[in-house]
Structure 1
Amino acid sequence: MHAQRYLDMYRSAGVAGAVADADPHALIALLYRGARERIRTARAALQRGDVPRKLAAVESACSIVDGLRMSLDHAAGGAIAAQLDALYDYAVRRLVEANSGNDDAKLAEVDALIESVESGWQAIRPAATARASACAG
């Protein structure tokens, strides 16, 4: 019991450190990663029959995706922001459906959708970050 609490504290501190040091692009990447981690947690809990853990993980994933949705700049983002808004709305609806129906396939679908957007996001890293990485490597 104590080991799990310490593991949770370690993870929390690790995330807090990553957030403190992150630029806006990296923060969005952390949100994608967090949403996908929650979905994987929900899938594992579903397979184990751990309903409270599944519920908590799905609720957390929904909150993260809603946060991504609220961060969209529709004025600057135009059609891309509108498409992402629709995708995030769909993802949250599918997560709710997956939760209520204990549907692993829907959880896997949303994980794949977010993975696709996450990959695209990583591909458009700001030029300054890309140059710094190139110099460091």
Structure 2
Amino acid sequence: MSTQAYQAYQNNSVETASPGELTLMLYNGCLKFIRLAKKGIEESNYELKNTNIQKAQKIIQELMVTMNPEYKITEEIMPLYDYINRKLMEANLHNDTAMLDEAAELVTDFRDTWKEVVKQTRQQKFGSGGNA
């Protein structure tokens, strides 16, 4: 598949994704950026580290901004997002892969939980017998 075709496929995936699937993409992107940042620290490539930590932080900040304050769960999730964001900042300042690992673990927990929510929503929407 050419780079142009792949880009078109990716754009179409985002444009046709449900809000739940978009959130899942954000979590996966955040994890990818954390992995790249860790690689940057391990290789003493501080530009790679800094760029990718900032990308991961932007995703966490976007997730924070889009939280609905009317839901009680927001009160529980918001401090965890804030904690992840602070771990990312500290990891960037101190070149600390353990802090990146801690942030990645929390994001993975959110992603795995969200993946279940998307799966259950699909089953309710399309019935459990489909390939959704």
TM-score higher than 0.5: yes
Q: Give the deviation of 1:136 after TM superposition.
A: 2.0
Q: Which residue of 2 aligns with 1:99?
A: 92
Q: Which residue of 1 aligns with 2:82?
A: 89
Specify whether residues 128 and 108 from structure 1 end up closer, same or farther in structure 2 by C-alpha distance, changes over 3 A only. closer
Deviations 1:2-53 (A, max 9, x none): xxxx96x777555422211100100100000010000001011111111001
Aligned residue-pair number:
129
Specify whether residues 97 and 10 from structure 1 end up closer, same or farther in structure 2 by C-alpha distance, changes over 3 A only. farther
Identical counterparts, % of pairs: 26
Q: Give the deviation of 1:61 after TM superposition.
A: 0.3
TM-score of the superposed pair, with normalisation by structure 2:
0.87
Deviations 1:101-120 (A, max 9, x none): 00000000000000001111
Where does the alignment leave 5 or more consecutive residues of structure 2 unmatched? none
Contact 1:45 1:51 in 2 (8 A): yes
Contact 1:25 1:126 in 2 (8 A): no
SS of match in other structure, 2:118: coil
TM-score of the superposed pair, with normalisation by structure 1:
0.84
- AA matched with 1:88: Y
Where does the alignment leave 5 or more consecutive residues of structure 1 unmatched? 1-5
Query: Quick one: distance in 1 between partners of 2:5 and 2:92?
Result: 28
SS of match in other structure, 1:72: coil
Query: Which consecutive aligned stretches of 4+ in structure 1 deviate over 4 angstroms post-superposition?
Result: 9-14
Q: Which residue of 1 aligns with 2:42?
A: 47
- Verify: 1:58 aligned to 2:53, yes or no: yes
Q: Which residue of 1 aligns with 2:13?
A: 18
Specify whether residues 120 and 85 from structure 1 end up closer, same or farther in structure 2 by C-alpha distance, changes over 3 A only. same
**Greater helix fraction, Structure 1 or Structure 2:** 1
Contact 1:42 1:53 in 2 (8 A): yes
